[in-house]
Amino acid sequence: MTRPTAIDWVPDVLAGDRRALARLITRVENRTPDSQAALAALYPHTGRAYLVGITGAPGAGKSSVVNALTRTLRERGQTVGIVAVDPTSPFSGGAVLGDRIRMVDLAGDRGVFIRSMANRGSLGGLAATSGDVARVLDAAGFDVVLIETVGAGQSEVDIARTAYTTVVVDAPGMGDDVQAIKAGILEIADILVVNKADRPGAENTVRALRAMLQLGHRLRTTLHHGELLRADEPPEEPDLDLWQVPIVKTVATDGIGLDKLADAIDRHRAFLIESGHLAERQRAGLEAELAVRLREALLARLVQERTPAAFEDVIGRVLARQLDPGSAVRALLDGST
Amino acid sequence: MSEEKIRVLIAKPGLDGHDRGAKVVARALRDAGMEVIYTGLRQTPEMIVEAALQEDVDVIGLSILSGAHMALVPRIFELLRAEGLDDVIVLVGGIIPDEDVPALLEMGVSAVFGPGTNTADTIAHIRNAVASRSA
């Protein structure tokens, strides 16, 4: 049986065929050679979907928020593609992907497409191909693409380069005070969600997050005409460059607060468009993506061009202290080994 | 750069609430390097086939303890065919009386694994079935 080529599925994907979409995504995830031509053919059809990232600590309720938010977006007439990333076991290379457990409400809705992805060893909260998979869903015509990251700690901030609006989900009792101060992940939040807001301690979590917003990197953006403003006091004249990170309380499992979250996403989107930040974000994201791809491609090319013996030789000389690692790299680059 | 993983959907159709076996199998398949999509309890045949389509899985593992396998399995095959998913390998685990096994295999089930099955046998079966399918 000859294996169909990914490019053959492109017209079907554009026409909304879900089977073709699913199979093409597999090729993209596997980074098969034929997936590159398919991605190239789909690329002109991308840029229409609004990309929203959902991140936060494990157990905060990311999948439940995705589930409930998707229902709200569907009520508002928008179609939704979902990319849900879970970690790959570093020992076996396998993974158990359990995000669908919390998304059973979305079954049977043709306006929703859920794809679980293992991160396949990639750090940063996403798989290396998550951005490409989101693009395929974009080209397939979904209005909104929700990207749910691996349960993230403090450094999994790739999502901010991929999504236009990043939602960070927190919950009561997750070590708020200390975490809020040290957590780099909060700095990427465009919207903060306190999920499980019916639980004791929810107000403490909101307070800790609000304090962090006032203390943290937002100080820079709250400098207004040289004057330091509290982040919860909007300036008298609306400042287009100032986005006030809202804190939205939800009880995702009961469907509470999701209208407010959907509204906050809409407001952030409008802010990004009106302020010109959307174009900036897209540009910065693409720059970062190209840098990563270029690095990978150059390394692959170099490894291909130099013989294994050349690498062995250089490693031997570095081990024998005849060559330092920096000079070894220059020698390999020049081919002067 | 290119890497292919066997993708498996582990699903529990029907109304019984015992998912320990399904979880043990899911973990064993993960430890064998497979990507396992675990969908939880009380899945309808429609939900299972929809998830299999969206996730583009090679294998569906059904855990059935409720005794409803002779109703659930034919329905799942019917839906798989309707979606053009004829090439997906279907395994059944759980409590299946011996006399029902030939009928299930006749329907297209690739193998039936009862209680006490060594997960290594399940893993080997999946690898062989996937390899012979793509050959």
Q: Which domains does chain A have, with CATH numbers?
A: 1-41 (no CATH), 46-278 (3.40.50.300), 293-334 (no CATH)
Centre a 10 Å sphere on the Cβ of residue A282 and count the other Cβ atoms it contains.
14
Nearest residue in A to B8, CA atom: A96
Please report whether residue B107 resides in a domain.
yes
Contact of A94 with chain B, judged by CB distance below 8 Å, is answered with yes
Q: Is A303 on the interface with B (CB under 8 A)?
A: no
pLDDT above 90 for A98: yes
Beta strands in A149-218 (DSSP E): 165-170, 191-194
In one-letter notation, the amino acid at residue A332 is L
CA atoms within 13 A on the CB side of A259: 2
CA distance B42 to chain A (A): 10
Mean pLDDT of chain A: 88
Domain assignment of residue B122, yes or no: yes
Chain B contacts of A116, Cβ < 8 Å? 37, 55
Helix (H) or strand (E) holding A3: none
Strands A223-224 and A227-228: antiparallel
Residues of B in contact with A33 (CB under 8 A): 2
Task: Centre a 10 Å sphere on the Cβ of residue A156 and count the other Cβ atoms it contains.
Answer: 22
pLDDT tens readout for residues A71-90? 999 999 999 999 999 999 98
Nearest to A96 among B38, B84, B85 (CB): B38
User: If you count residue pairs, one on A and one on B, with CB atoms under 8 Å apart, how many are there?
Assistant: 91
Closest CA in chain A for residue B11: A101
Beta carbons of A97 and B84 less than 8 Å apart = no
B54 lies in some domain: yes
B108: left (phi over 0), alpha (psi -120 to 50) or beta: left
pLDDT at res. B99: 95
Could you write out the DSSP letters of every residue in A72-91?
HHHHTT--EEEEEEEPPPTT
Question: Cβ–Cβ of A89/B26 closer than 8 Å?
Answer: no
Up-side HSE of residue A151: CA atoms within 13 Å toward CB? Answer: 14
Q: CATH number for the domain including B130?
A: 3.40.50.280
**Do the chains contact at A19 and B84, CB–CB below 8 Å?**
yes
CA distance B91 to chain A (A): 18
Torsion on CA atoms A256, A262, A263, A266, rounded to nearest 10? 170
Point out the residue among B27, B56, B84 whose CB comes nearest to the CB of A25: B56
Substitution target from B24, B41, B47, B55 for chain A, most A beta carbons within 10 A? B55
Residue B44 has pLDDT above 70, yes or no: yes
Which residue of B32, B39, B50 is in closest CB contact with A92?
A: B32
B-chain residues near A38 (CB < 8 A): none
Give the tens place of pLDDT for each residue, B80-123: 999 999 999 999 999 999 999 999 999 999 999 988 899 999 99
| Option in B35, B47, B54 nearest A22 (CB) | B54
Could you say which DSSP state residue A237 is in? S
Decide if pLDDT at A124 tops 90: no
The answer to whether residue B11 is domain-embedded is yes
**Residue A201 backbone class (left: φ over 0; alpha: ψ -120 to 50; beta: rest):** left
CA-based nearest residue to A257, from A208, A206, A194, A207: A194
Nearest to A193 by CA among A221, A216, A165: A165
For residues A269 and A256, give the distance between their C-alpha atoms in angstroms, rounded to a whole number.
Answer: 22
Rounded to 10 degrees, the C-alpha dihedral A245/A247/A251/A257 comes to -80
Per-residue model confidence (pLDDT) at position A235: 47
The boundaries of the domain holding residue B94 are 7-134
Checking if the pLDDT of A337 tops 80, the result is no
B67 occurs within a structural domain: yes
Would residue B2 count as lying in a domain?
no
Chain A residues with CB under 8 Å of B84 CB are: 19
- B83 in contact with A, Cβ within 8 Å: yes
Tally the C-alpha atoms within 13 A of residue B22's C-alpha that lie toward its C-beta.
Answer: 27
Residue A322 main-chain phi, psi, to 5 deg: -85, -20
What does pTM read for this prediction?
0.89
| B121 within 8 A of B90, measured Cβ to Cβ | no
Q: What is the mean pLDDT of residues A82-104?
A: 94
Domain annotation covers residue B37: yes
Task: Check pLDDT > 50 for residue A222.
Answer: no
Residue identified by tokens 């396992």 is B36
Q: Say if residue A212's pLDDT is above 60.
A: yes
d(CA A276, CA A21): 32
Structurally, chain B folds into a number of domains equal to: 1
For residue A3, list chain B residues with Cβ-Cβ distance below 8 A: 134
Cβ distance of A30 and B53 shorter than 8 Å: no
Which among B26, B40, B56 has CB closest to A22? B56
End-to-end CA distance of chain B: 22
Q: Cα(B44)–Cα(A216) distance, rounded to whole angstroms?
A: 48
Rounded to two decimals, the ipTM of the complex is 0.93
